[in-house]
Structure 1
Amino acid sequence: MKKIAVLFLIFSTITLLSQEEQTESVWRLNFLNPGVEYEMPTGNTSTLSIGTGIGYSGSYPHTSVGGSSGLITSFNPFLDIQHKWFYNFEKRKSKGLNITNNSGNFISARVLTRGESLFGNSNGTDGLDVAIGPTWGIQRKYGKNFHLLFDMGPIYYFDINERHGFFPLMLQLNLGFDL
């Protein structure tokens, strides 16, 4: 865990030293998982995104009710922090495609913290769980201010009751508006 935090800080520091900025600061309102997000430049092709709200999520293996194999749902308050490194800005610009509001493909380091389940059919956690891992994703701005973000990647999760595990594929889909 400490090694992951140190690597995250090293990558963040390196990108903060970049001179030319192509990335932009953006405020967003997401409506698929209701919340607010702020994305700020950390370098010419990197950003730090911080989002909070109440979102739908599936459960981790240890949170299902009575070993249920059906659809498990949970609505939780969340804090989502993601450091994104965009890798195709130049290619998009050369094809005449938009990079406004950080429209591009990225890899990231993501930390997602969820509070206790507000409602749903999941035991959830008794207070707090954390998921960390790398992701690959895309984000686009369409029209005047419509925003789409999709990303996926493996995660390691743990909670305050020392339950933990590896989940092979976490998916995220955000739809909303850039302000």
Structure 2
Amino acid sequence: MKKILLLSFILLTITLFSQEKRTQRVWRVNFLNPGIEYEMPIGNNSTLSIGAGIGYSGSYPHSSTSDVDTGLVYAINPFLDVQHKWFYNFEKRKIKELNITNNSGNFVSARMLTRGKTLFGDDIVTKSLDFAVGPTWGIQRKYGKNFHLLFDMGPIYYFDVDGGHGLFPFTFQLNLGFDL
């Protein structure tokens, strides 16, 4: 069984890295949720995006310390955001003569978000570390010379190091920034 898994991994790696890549390496500085991001190609139509910074976040139902948890409680937390994005409309955009520079396209992704202890806010949202994983659908675009827009949304499963966990049916991300 281990040999089959190893062989499958090797074949997948060769396949991913041997194709002509339409995706590009991009460094970004985001200012809506201040941070830096690096997006690297890992396949013909897929990238791995890694972002870190300090940004706004809301509370998960189990983590709020207020009497009434609306999910609208805010906090500023350090974060690490990792996404594997699969772009599905590069060819369509090329045919319509739309920009695909710096991975401008629509995508589905597998996302993992880690937040650190709340630095300040109107509630203690995260006492230590929490994690969220889930699928997303999104768009990202490059406008003009360097301006970058990313929007994605999807359900997440969240958990923390204190044993709290649950399913949050809808979360979204909006990033504005500049491609370097």
Is this a same-fold pair by TM over 0.5? yes
The answer to whether 1:39 aligns with 2:75 is: no
Aligned position for 1:52: 52
Q: Percent identity?
A: 73
The residue type paired with residue 81 of structure 2 is: D
- Say if 2:21 and 2:45, in contact at 8 Å, map to a contact too: yes
Distance in 2 between residues matched to 1:109 and 1:157, nearest whole Å: 14
Scaled by the length of structure 1, what TM-score is found? 0.90
Aligned position for 1:6: none
1:14 Cα deviation after fit: 7.8
Count how many residue pairs are aligned between Structure 1 and Structure 2. 170
- 1:15-67 superposed Cα distances (whole Å, 9 cap, x missing partner): 73451100000000000000000000001100000000001011100122333
Aligned position for 1:116: 117
Aligned position for 1:5: none
What are the ranges of 5 or more consecutive residues in structure 2 without an aligned counterpart? 1-8
The residue type paired with residue 102 of structure 1 is: N
Distance in 1 between residues matched to 2:13 and 2:55, nearest whole Å: 30
Scaled by the length of structure 2, what TM-score is found? 0.89
Paired residue secondary structure (1:66) = coil
Summarize the alignment of residues 5-154 of structure 1 with structure 2, pairs less than 5 Å apart. Answer: 13=13, 16-69=16-69, 71-154=72-155
Question: Does the C-alpha gap of structure 1 residues 136 and 100 become closer, same or farther in structure 2, counting only changes over 3 Å?
Answer: same
What root-mean-square deviation, in Å, do the aligned CA atoms of Structure 1 and Structure 2 show? Answer: 1.7
What are the ranges of 5 or more consecutive residues in structure 1 without an aligned counterpart? 1-8
Aligned position for 1:171: 172
Distance in 2 between residues matched to 1:157 and 1:98, nearest whole Å: 35
Looking at CA atoms only, which structure, 1 or 2, has the larger radius of gyration?
2
